[in-house]
Structure 1
């Protein structure tokens, strides 16, 4: 995990470098806009998440989860394509309950806590059609979630998952509405040669109430048509959904992001919040169109 430690040291340096105002990309939301980051820019988003009564069916653990160094990087590689890296440097679980499970977790401090890296996601997003007066912008996002976690730590699944989603975005005056719909193929964490195909969805919106303040909200998650009890090979791949409501505040050359979180399924955390900062850094100059 040396590259994760290097990333942890590099990101604060980039945030302090010469930069441009951050575009309205998603933090503190997870629903993707169809628009992409400008070519040559890197949008750096760092944050912290706290989730109360988080549940981990594979390990049988329940408790309060803190995710430190939540990373969301967007690099504009062309006028219509961006590359994304998303994850968290470290996550810590304060264990409140432990139930019988497929995996027996290795706990610290007398069985009251555990910690691990988070799974990182590598994705690409393409703007297929720009927004017009009548029609929304359309985009496509696809990628994979890498198995960076250790299932024995009780937090992650250590599985490789792939996804593809169609993105749409439309402005109505000041209101910016965007939605996602797609397919996720989730590797079974407790069985060989098995997977769960789930529907991915999200609907979000932003609205400026001041020149420096946006109100943001969303409902996003995944829907499984199959049952995923703790005795199934598909445990921990079932339906999940969260609602988020928060603000984006532009101040000090940064965008400050905050949102409250409410879980909408029995396997989701009860409540929580996310806090972070965003900044866009110019990595290379715009190409000369005369060349």
Structure 2
């Protein structure tokens, strides 16, 4: 169960894994990325109350890379609400760095620790990303737009699918969940592979040649998705490649929607697709 520890002070730390933060960076007022990571050994033996959660916390401490520090001068309930909403900022960071970045646990002075991830068994990421200045700048500039599109169920569901896919053990299961997110954003009906590829090419930026390459790549990748869903055998190299492509595509589409600040409708994408003309 996810919970946030809020004590008597005016700040809460939520630790994360997936990116190394060298210096403090203000994401928005009262929300700061910091290299400071509270740990039980550095906090006079404070613990969580339940044994399974305590065991999970001990493991999480070994992979914690950074924290989000949430501050509110009123403390109490106002701080708790702000800290709870800040859990979505790990999703925003995932889009900013184009890789999964996850919350681990929270800490508040006077309250101690609480597990902030539904998965008690955390799978360490293959590598810790070094933050690029432009990625941090994009995240800070996108906070408001990200909050706006979170109100749309399709975006929120696709973002959850992206977040959850990377914790699955098998690449075929990851591929199915990632494509479920892509389909939810780009539309599912007749001639699905062509329509998804077309909508992806329309939505994503690029030259006409780059958009055509996107269209062809998405159609090819969707064929791999269909093989996975229908149980057609694929070797591990092909599965890994299909997983990487689906993960990258879903991040690109989610980022573009954040940049737009709204969810485009299927009719809008179809209208753009139908508005072109051939020339002699």
Q: TM class by shorter-chain length? A: under 0.3
Structure that is richer in strand per residue: 1
Structure that is richer in helix per residue: 2
In the superposition, the TM-score normalised over structure 1's length comes to 0.22
